[in-house]
Amino acid sequence: MQARTIRLRAGADLEGFRRAIRRLVAAGVTPEAVTWIAGEAASLFPEDDVGEPGPALALPRAVAALVPPVVLHRDPERYGLLHRLIWRVAQGERHLAEVASDPLVHRLALMRKAVGRDLHKMHAFLRFRRAGAGEAGRERFAAWFEPEHHILAEAAPFFAARFPSFDWSILTPDGSAHWDGNALCFGPPGRREDVPEHDSFEAGWTDYYSSTFNPARTNLAAMRAEMPKKYWHNMPETAAIPGLVREAGRRVGQMIERAPEAPVKRVPIRALAAMAAQEPDSLAALNAVIRASAPLVPGATQAVLGEGPPGAAIAFVGEQPGDQEDLQGRPFVGPAGQLLSRALREAGIDRDRAYLTNAVKHFKFEARGKRRIHQKPTAGEVAHYRWWLDRELAFVAPRLVVALGATAVLALSGRQVPITRARGPASFGEKPYRGFVTVHPSYLLRLPDDGRGEAYAAFVDDLRRAAALAADPLPA
Query: What's the pLDDT tens digit per position in 121-137?
Result: 999 888 888 887 666 66
Strand partners, 315: 355, 401
User: How many other CB atoms are there within 10 angstroms of residue 432's CB atom?
Assistant: 10
Closest C-alpha to 439, from 467, 411, 419, 465? 419
Q: Model-level pTM greater than 0.85? A: no
User: How many other CB atoms are there within 10 angstroms of residue 247's CB atom?
Assistant: 15
Q: Decide if 379 contacts 322 (C-beta within 8 A).
A: no
Closest C-alpha to 470, from 402, 389, 384? 402
Report whether pLDDT(45) > 60. Answer: no
Report whether pLDDT(62) > 60. Answer: yes
Q: What value does the mean pLDDT take over residues 410-424? A: 89
Lowest mean pLDDT among 195-209, 250-264, 434-448: 250-264
Q: What value does the mean pLDDT take over residues 393-408? A: 95
Report whether pLDDT(333) > 80. Answer: yes
Q: What value does the mean pLDDT take over residues 362-380? A: 85
The DSSP code sequence of 262-281 is: PPPPPPPHHHHHHHTTS---
Report whether pLDDT(162) > 60. Answer: yes
Pairing verdict, β 424-426 and 400-404: unpaired
Strand partners, 144: 171
| pLDDT attached to residue 399 | 94
Report whether pLDDT(222) > 70. Answer: no
Report whether pLDDT(242) > 90. Answer: no
d(CA 231, CA 221): 16
Report whether pLDDT(158) > 50. Answer: yes
Q: How confident is the model at residue 46 (pLDDT cuts 50, 70, 90)?
A: very low
In this predicted model, which residue has the larger pLDDT, 88 or 202?
A: 88
d(CA 358, CA 395): 15
| pLDDT attached to residue 339 | 95
Q: Decide if 190 contacts 172 (C-beta within 8 A).
A: yes
| pLDDT attached to residue 317 | 97
Closest C-alpha to 318, from 414, 443, 421? 443
User: How many other CB atoms are there within 10 angstroms of residue 146's CB atom?
Assistant: 14
In this predicted model, which residue has the larger pLDDT, 221 or 142?
A: 142
Q: How confident is the model at residue 277 (pLDDT cuts 50, 70, 90)?
A: very low
Report whether pLDDT(236) > 80. Answer: no
Report whether pLDDT(372) > 90. Answer: no
Lowest mean pLDDT among 57-71, 118-132, 234-248, 440-454: 234-248
Q: How confident is the model at residue 113 (pLDDT cuts 50, 70, 90)?
A: very high
Q: What is the mean pLDDT of the chain?
A: 84
d(CA 187, CA 182): 16
Report whether pLDDT(48) > 60. Answer: no
d(CA 129, CA 143): 6
d(CA 87, CA 73): 20
Report whether pLDDT(278) > 60. Answer: no
Lowest mean pLDDT among 203-212, 319-328, 386-395, 454-463: 203-212
Report whether pLDDT(229) > 60. Answer: yes
| pLDDT attached to residue 320 | 94
Closest C-alpha to 107, from 139, 81, 69? 81
d(CA 147, CA 115): 10
Query: What's the pLDDT tens digit per position in 164-207?
Result: 878 999 999 999 999 988 899 999 999 998 888 776 556 555 66
**Which residue segments constitute the domains of the chain, with CATH numbers given?**
4-121 (no CATH), 126-194 (no CATH), 202-256 (no CATH), 269-471 (3.40.470.10)
Q: How confident is the model at residue 226 (pLDDT cuts 50, 70, 90)?
A: low
d(CA 451, CA 39): 52
Pairing verdict, β 167-171 and 176-179: antiparallel
Percent of the chain with pLDDT over 70: 78
